[in-house]
Chains A and B, each alone.
Chain A
Amino acid sequence: MIIDRYGERFTMTASLLLTAFFLGLLNTAEGPIGAGAVLVLVGAAAGPVNAASGRLILGWFTMRERGLAMGIRQTAQPLGIALSAAALPIAAAHWGFTGAMLLPAALAMVMAPLVAVLTATPRQKGTDPGPATASRPASPYRHPTIWRVHGASMLLGVPQFTVMTYALVYLVQEHGWSAPAAGAVLAVAQVPGAASRLLLGVWSDRVGSRLRPVRTIAAVSGAALLLLSLSPLVLPVAGVPLLLACVVLSMSHNGLTFTSVAETAGLPWAGRAMAAQNSLQALSSMLTPFMMAVVIHWYGLSPVFAVSAAFCAAAIVAVPIARR
């Protein structure tokens, strides 16, 4: 709504400034409850940048340029995570938690005026506003297929966010690595992670199905997660390579499930379906640490990977068969 009313430039600038402000507030937060409240505000402030930057690309690039431009923009997530993994543990070793979180605050502060100035020129190229809504067909949400794709995506979000949340602490706690070394390795792992998204996209084009590769990747991820969970008992030395495999595998499904949602919804409903997909993914990423906290509390860190494997198995069942 804010993007529609005030435009991408205002939304992104305000979002970045507020993100930097709230990250700065972490320094003054009282205890874990105060820090938690500030982190909610950070998430609320940072969220709109994704949608606004997407619309910025739509507005500035022609139909022919847009695919590549969007593809490049999509690399922001693995790049952002790689940057965080590489830089934040080193910063935290020197300045602690709140000091380290000033790094993304500084980046947001630097970017806010650049966004305000450099995206100020009126749009020139983005002429088509998107699909017409005059004769919008019946909602795809009347059929179970799109719900199953959303469901599979949410289920696969659990291993993805489990691995992302606990990978560093697993290397530090279970394998005695230093946090900066663990961060560096996890940053490097984002490269094959990003490549795996591209390769799965190519594979899905070749086999003519988005969801068959998703099912395969869910099975392979589940097996790897289960082995990772068992590795301390069976073969501790296999823990690190298995973790890195899980980092790559668990993030690889994203592009396919998003594409599948859009294709299942059809062009007139694609925007709304992708917005729903974004919300459901955020829900998955929010609930995962709460659920895994219970597992860690009762059983320790490694079993979270076995629980994640169960979600992969559930996703295999949820993925609709014989649909693109």
Chain B
Amino acid sequence: MILAVALVAQIASVSALFGVPFVLPELRVAYDLTTAQAGTLAGLSSLGLLLTLLAGE
């Protein structure tokens, strides 16, 4: 049960962190962006991840 909970919790986390590239066409439409700009926006969750990792060091 612990393993299942850890697994699904991490799936939720991965989906939040890396889900944006799969809605890139709608992200472009939502903010009137180019593909390049939308891709850059998709990478920003990794910046947050990096800040958390560095803060935890």
Contact = CB atoms under 8 A, between A and B. Distances in A.
A297 B33 CA distance: 12
Interface residues of A, number: 92
B25 A169 contact: yes
A166 B34 contact: no
A82 to B, nearest CB: 9
A254 to B, nearest CB: 13
Given A48-B52, A75-B7, A96-B26, A286 B47 contact: yes
B54 A279 contact: yes
A238 interface: no
A44 to B, nearest CB: 4
A210 B52 CA distance: 29
A275 B53 contact: yes
Given A76-B7, A98-B30, A47 B52 contact: yes
Given A47-B49, A49-B9, A36 B44 contact: yes
Contacts of A85: 22
Nearest to B27: A97
A33 to B, nearest CB: 9
A15 B23 contact: no
B6 A53 contact: yes
Contacts of B13: 15-16, 19, 46-47, 49-50, 76, 80, 108
B39 to A, nearest CB: 4
A54 to B, nearest CB: 8
Contact of B15 (A47, A80, A301): A80
A39 B53 contact: no
Contact of B53 (A91, A165, A278, A290): A278
A282 B57 contact: no
Nearest to A39: B44
Interface in A1-48: 1-3, 12, 15-16, 19, 23, 31-32, 35-36, 39-48
Interface residue range, chain B: 35 or more
A270 B20 CA distance: 32
A23 B48 CA distance: 13
A111 B7 contact: no
B46 A43 contact: yes
Contacts of B24: 165-166, 168-169
Interface stretch (A113-121, A145-153, A196-204): A113-121
Contacts of B11: 76, 79-80, 83, 107
A19 B12 contact: yes
Contacts of B37: 32, 293
Interface string A69-85: 10011011101110111
B6 to A, nearest CB: 4
A73 B45 contact: no
B48 to A, nearest CB: 3
B12 A16 contact: yes
Contacts of A118: 1-2, 5
A169 B48 CA distance: 23
Interface of B: 1-3, 5-27, 29-31, 33-57
Given A42-B45, A114-B8, A169-B25, 7 more contacts: A16-B13, A32-B41, A39-B42, A89-B22, A119-B5, A285-B46, A296-B34
